């Protein structure tokens, strides 16, 4: 008997219309749907009339359930995996199951779709031809070591953060990368109150000290500028300063 297929299905990070037609088709036809939180997924499924066998699959039980899911796939069932929002495996459960299926030779198909990091990057105005995704930083152990290692990173960096830890993280970034390093904080992507705050780390930090952040947060930080870029920037500042003095005079 040929094995089934594991479908990794992105779901909207905000607006419920940010889901593909193929994703809806897969979810309606799947024999089993794995959800990070069945209550959260039920809202989306009810909106689109998706009815199927729903099973909880999250970071606290994935080690216990992966064996059972593998057996169902080997029996020929089709299984769809969703997270609360975005693409499973990107700071959400998904890696463990995908790895197990790959080891067993079970087909894994990941559908293109919603994720928070790419819209935040492209909207930031920072270079997006080369970037690195760091996700959530460690809360304690290894956090400072990781940040120090990123101090020489030249690519644009993307981080996820909770609103209650945002100002503290921006303070750390300013200490490690320098307060003048450019950044952008995206808040509530694809939702009603979507916001992008751009500027230096010092400027963005000041904004969120004055305005309490709420909702889902993505921080995009410019990489370390090259010497050529730094010289060009300093020259631009000097020229702009001269011009301002002339206008004031």
What does the pLDDT look like over 180-219, one tens digit per residue? 999 999 999 999 999 999 999 999 999 999 999 999 999 9
pLDDT interval class at 53 (50, 70, 90)? confident
d(CA 78, CA 60): 23
Identify the pLDDT of residue 249. Answer: 36
Average of per-residue pLDDT across 74-103:
95
Average of per-residue pLDDT values in the chain: 91
* 104 vs 248 pLDDT, higher one: 104
The two three-digit tokens of residue 26, written as one number: 């897969």
Q: Closest Cα partner for 28 from 56, 51, 6?
A: 51
d(CA 184, CA 162): 15
Are residues 44 and 16 in contact, defined by beta-carbon separation less than 8 angstroms?
A: yes
Q: What is the CA radius of gyration of the chain?
A: 22
DSSP string across the chain: ----EEEE--B-SS-TT-S-HHHHHHHHH-SEEEES-HHHHHHHHHHHT----EEE--TTTHHHHHHHHHHHHHTT--EEEE-SSB-TTSSSTTHHHHHHHHHHT-EEEEPP---SHHHHHHHTTS--SSEEEEEEPPSSTTHHHHHHHGGG--SEEEEEE-GGGHHHHHHHHHHHH-TTSEEEEEESTTSTT-EEEEEEHHHHHHHHHHS---S-EEEEEPPPPPHHHHHHHHHHHHHHHHHHHHHH-
Q: Please say if the pLDDT value at position 222 is more than 70.
A: yes
Average of per-residue pLDDT across 160-177:
97
Distances (CA, A) of 232 to 142, 173, 178: 35, 23, 18
φ, ψ for residue 115 (rounded to 5)?
Answer: -155, 150
The two three-digit tokens of residue 157, written as one number: 């960096």
Are residues 174 and 199 in contact, defined by beta-carbon separation less than 8 angstroms?
A: no
The two three-digit tokens of residue 184, written as one number: 């952008």
Q: Please say if the pLDDT value at position 240 is more than 90.
A: no
Number of other residues whose CB lies within 10 A of the CB of residue 149 = 11
Distances (CA, A) of 177 to 87, 123, 133, 172: 29, 21, 17, 8
């Amino acid at each position: 008997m040929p094995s089934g297929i594991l479908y990794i299905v992105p779901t909207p990070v905000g607006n419920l219309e940010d889901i593909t037609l193929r994703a809806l088709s897969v979810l309606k036809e799947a024999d089993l749907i794995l959800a990070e939180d069945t209550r959260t997924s039920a809202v989306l499924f009810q909106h689109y009339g998706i009815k199927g066998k729903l099973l909880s699959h999250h970071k606290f039980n994935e080690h216990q359930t992966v064996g059972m899911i593998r057996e169902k796939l080997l029996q020929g069932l089709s299984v769809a995996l969703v997270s609360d929002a975005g693409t499973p495996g990107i700071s959400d459960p998904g890696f463990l199951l995908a790895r197990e299926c790959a080891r067993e030779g079970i087909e894994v198909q990941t559908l293109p779709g919603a994720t928070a990091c790419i819209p935040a990057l492209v909207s930031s105005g920072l270079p997006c031809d080369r970037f690195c995704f760091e996700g959530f930083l460690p809360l304690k152990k290894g956090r400072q070591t990781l940040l120090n290692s990123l101090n020489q990173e030249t690519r644009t960096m993307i981080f996820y953060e909770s609103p209650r830890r945002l100002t503290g993280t921006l303070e750390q970034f300013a200490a490690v990368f320098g307060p003048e390093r450019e950044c952008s904080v995206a808040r509530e992507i694809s939702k009603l109150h979507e916001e992008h705050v751009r500027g230096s780390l010092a400027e963005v930090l000041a904004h969120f000290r004055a305005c309490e952040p709420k909702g889902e947060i993505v921080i995009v930080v410019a990489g370390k500028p090259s010497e050529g870029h730094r010289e060009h920037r300093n020259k631009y500042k000097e020229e702009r300063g001269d011009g301002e003095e002339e206008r004031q005079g």
